Amino acid sequence: MLGAIRHRTGTSVMRFLKKLIPLVSLVIPTLVVADAGISISYRSTPVIIHKNWLDASNWPEEAAVYRGIVTERSLNMVTANFYFDDTLRGHDKVKSGNLVTRHFILKHEPPSKDYPAGRMVEREIDIGDATSAQINARNGKTPGQEGYVYEEQVYVDEKVLGFLPGWLNPNRGAGYIMGVSFNYAAEAELVEYYSWDAYIGKRLFLLPHLAHIYFKIGPSYARYNYDFVDRYLATENKIGLFYNIGVQVQVLKGIKFFSEAEFRGYSPATLGDSFNLENSSLEFVNTLPPFSENYKDTKFGKKWLRDLITQGIRFGLKFSF
């Protein structure tokens, strides 16, 4: 019997290890060669809240009735994100370059311990505006002789901002991105919202490594707690979809500032053990001035800037490992 227990224990451990290997194979390369880390961000999120409750304050003298309100609010949403940027692809091709013509001369080194007969070596030289044929004709040199000059096409890496340190290497830092996020927002005596997001996307550079634009898309699972009289909560669970378009800028080593437009929505159907007898709801208002109807003829003034910040733009910091 003891042997059977050991056998089952060993089998369970092997199954666990088999499940663990894919995760390790993803996380370790990410932490070593990719751009992974955490981010914290804030968004003032415009929503429409439908709150319905059963008013039984005068019951049984009067019949209990449903009452309701519709209110537009901006939820203060805080998001914590764990991101795996460049995991699927690693970094971009490190450098680009081109072929250039270089000139070399054959030189004979005298015999030595390692080379008893001596050896012929090539050294790069500058021949000015002349050609190798002109130099050889003037010196009377033929192929294979010491002092013979010849030319070769050599591939040379392009150097862009080469004086910057490695973490600002402009040839690094754009690729596929993915991650998971947790969002939380609440409005007193109305609703509490929290959700989990998973996403995948693509990052492109404006200034390589220093500034990027990106987009991401993925599913979201949300839970709503509607606050009613006497702290009674009606709860519902929903699944939805979100997508973001943003820009990020390198601030310091391992720290990036980002801002992004976010659009999210959820199915009207509830999931699992959802309980929402009062038919309350929360609707996200996905607007981004000046692309909404209210800004067709509006100039880029103070009102536009204020509404841009309060109607869908997320701001945050990313910290790389």
Structure tokens at 69: 């309100």
Asked whether residue 50 is assigned to any structural domain, the reply reads yes
Region 109-126 average pLDDT: 85
Asked whether residue 9 is assigned to any structural domain, the reply reads no
Region 258-271 average pLDDT: 86
Q: Examine the domain organization and report whether 119 and 253 are in the same domain.
A: no
Asked whether residue 7 is assigned to any structural domain, the reply reads no
Residue 105: Cβ-neighbour burial (10 angstroms; 0-12, 13-18, 19+): buried
Q: Is the pLDDT of residue 123 over 60?
A: yes
Domain that holds residue 227: 28-94+164-320
Q: Examine the domain organization and report whether 314 and 212 are in the same domain.
A: yes
pLDDT of residue 67: 65
Q: Examine the domain organization and report whether 90 and 105 are in the same domain.
A: no
pLDDT of residue 177: 86
Q: Examine the domain organization and report whether 146 and 263 are in the same domain.
A: no
Structure tokens at 33: 């060669």
Structure tokens at 26: 């993803």
Instruction: Give whole-number Cα distances, 206 to 5, 53, 137, 171, 273, in Å.
Output: 60, 51, 51, 12, 46
Asked whether residue 14 is assigned to any structural domain, the reply reads no
Q: Examine the domain organization and report whether 234 and 127 are in the same domain.
A: no
Q: Examine the domain organization and report whether 85 and 106 are in the same domain.
A: no
pLDDT of residue 90: 42
Asked whether residue 17 is assigned to any structural domain, the reply reads no
Q: Confirm if 86 and 34 have CB atoms less than 8 A apart.
A: yes
Structure confidence by residue, pLDDT tens digits, 189-235? 788 899 999 999 888 877 767 888 899 999 999 998 887 555 556 78
Q: Is the pLDDT of residue 32 over 80?
A: no
Q: Examine the domain organization and report whether 285 and 312 are in the same domain.
A: yes
Asked whether residue 76 is assigned to any structural domain, the reply reads yes
Asked whether residue 57 is assigned to any structural domain, the reply reads yes
Task: Point out the least confidently predicted range of 12-16, 123-127, 178-182.
Answer: 12-16
Q: Examine the domain organization and report whether 87 and 101 are in the same domain.
A: no
Region 253-268 average pLDDT: 88
Q: Alpha-carbon distance 178 to 199, whole Å?
A: 5
Task: Point out the least confidently predicted range of 40-44, 67-71, 138-142, 186-190.
Answer: 67-71
Q: Examine the domain organization and report whether 200 and 255 are in the same domain.
A: yes
Give me the phi and psi of 292, to 5 degrees please.
-85, 165
Question: Domain boundary at 110, 132, 157, which?
Answer: 157
Structure confidence by residue, pLDDT tens digits, 287-296? 665 555 555 5
Question: Domain boundary at 157, 181, 197, which?
Answer: 157
Q: Examine the domain organization and report whether 169 and 312 are in the same domain.
A: yes
Structure confidence by residue, pLDDT tens digits, 128-186? 888 888 888 888 888 888 888 888 888 776 655 445 555 455 445 567 888 999 999 98
pLDDT of residue 236: 84
Domain count, the chain: 2
DSSP secondary structure letters along 151-191: EEEEEEEPPSSTTS-GGG-TT---SEEEEEEEEEEEETTTE
pLDDT of residue 91: 45
Q: Alpha-carbon distance 241 to 259, whole Å?
A: 19
Higher pLDDT, 13 or 285: 285
Confidence label for 5 from pLDDT (cuts 50, 70 and 90): very low
Q: Examine the domain organization and report whether 274 and 310 are in the same domain.
A: yes
Region 62-77 average pLDDT: 72
Q: Is the pLDDT of residue 254 over 50?
A: yes
Q: Examine the domain organization and report whether 123 and 268 are in the same domain.
A: no
Question: Domain boundary at 157, 175, 191, which?
Answer: 157
CATH of the domain at 50: 2.40.160.20
Percent of the residues in the chain that have a pLDDT greater than 70, as a whole number: 65
Q: Is the pLDDT of residue 12 over 90?
A: no
Q: Which residues contact 115 (CB under 8 A, 6 or more apart)?
A: 109
The CA dihedral of 290, 261, 168, 94, to the nearest 10 degrees, is: -100
Asked whether residue 62 is assigned to any structural domain, the reply reads yes
